[in-house]
Amino acid sequence: MIELRLVGIGTGNPDHLTRAAMRALNEADLVLLPRKGAAKVALLEVRRVICAEVLTRPVPLVEFDLPVRDASGAYLDGVQDWHEAIARAWAREIAAHLPGGGRVAVMVWGDPSLYDSSLRIAARLGAGGMDLRVSVVPGITSLSVLTAAHAIALNTLGAPVVITTGRQLRDRGWPEGTDSVAVMLDSGTAFEVIEDSRVHIWWGAYLGMPQQALVAGPLAKAGAQITALRAQLRARHGWIMDIYLLRRS
C-alpha cells in the first residue's frame, strides 16, 4: 500500500504551512521534489528550504526531472499526455525508493483543489494498478495571499466571483454574471484584452516571498506598469508566478 499525501504549501513561504502540512511531511517515508529545469531552479530551492525548516526527523528527499509539456498541438491533448508522463515519473520514483510501500508526500503550490492537477495525476497511478490511497492536506491559496497583501476582500457585498485562467480571459473575454474576476495561470498579460475604464486591478507576483511585487490601480493606467514590471521580474529571476483580481465598479 502506498499512501500518497498531496500537501498544500501555500505560495512558498514556510510560514504558510499549516501544522497539518508540517505533520504530513514529517510522517512521510519519502518526499518527491520535482526539478523543472535550470530556469526554474528557484522553485526547487523553495521546496528544499521548506523541508529544511519544517522537518524534525530524517526523511528521504528524492529529486526527479519533471516532464515537459508538449505545446505544439492541441492544448488539452498536450496536458493529458503531460499528466500521463508525470504519473509515470512518480510511479518510477516510488517503485525505486519505496518498493515495500509507505507514505509519500508531494508538495503542491497553494492548494491541490485550485487549478492544480496533482489529484488527476494521482488518479492515473491508481488506474495503473498501484495499490494507492490518496489524502489531501489543504494549503493557503494564492488568492488568499493576494487579497491579504492588498488588504481587500475577494468579493463585493453579496456578489459572486469568477476564478478563471489567463487563457480563458484572453479567448472569451469578461465572464458573464460577475463584476469580480480572479485570474490565475496567466502566462502573459491577458488583462490587455479588457477595454473598460471601470475596471480596477490588484496584481501580485512571488506572493509571500522576499521578492514579492504588488501593483494596484485602474487597469487603464496600471496595466502598462504591470506589463513592464512583469517582464523585468521574469528576466531577473528566470521565472514568475503571478495572479490578479479584476473588478468593475
Cα distance between residue 129 and residue 132, in whole Å: 8
Residues 163, 184 contacting (CB under 8 angstroms): yes
Query: Whole-model pTM?
Result: 0.90
Cα distance between residue 21 and residue 178, in whole Å: 34
- For 11, the enclosing helix (H) or strand (E) is none
2-137 CATH, one of 3.40.50.970, 3.40.1010.10, 1.20.200.10, 3.30.910.20: 3.40.1010.10
Residues 83, 124 contacting (CB under 8 angstroms): yes
Q: pLDDT digits over 46-87, tens only?
A: 899 999 999 999 999 999 998 888 888 888 889 999 999 999
| Residue 83 three-state SS | helix
Cα distance between residue 178 and residue 164, in whole Å: 12
CATH 3.40.1010.10 location in the chain: 2-137
pLDDT (0 to 100) of residue 37 = 72
Q: pLDDT digits over 124-181, tens only?
A: 998 878 899 999 999 999 999 999 999 999 999 999 999 999 999 999 999 999 999 9
Q: pLDDT digits over 174-190, tens only?
A: 999 999 999 999 988 99
Burial letters 177-216, b for 16+ CB under 10 A, else e: ebbbbbbbebeebbbeebeeeebbbbbbbbbbbeeebebb
Q: pLDDT digits over 16-44, tens only?
A: 999 999 999 999 999 999 988 765 788 88
Region 218-239 average pLDDT: 94
Residue 146 cell numbers, joined: 493576494
Strand partners, 223: none
CATH 3.30.950.10 location in the chain: 142-248
pLDDT (0 to 100) of residue 218 = 97
pLDDT band at 221 (very low <50, low <70, confident <90, very high): very high
Q: pLDDT digits over 189-218, tens only?
A: 999 999 999 999 999 999 999 999 999 999
Mean pLDDT of the chain: 93
CATH superfamily of 142-248: Tetrapyrrole methylase, C-terminal domain (3.30.950.10)
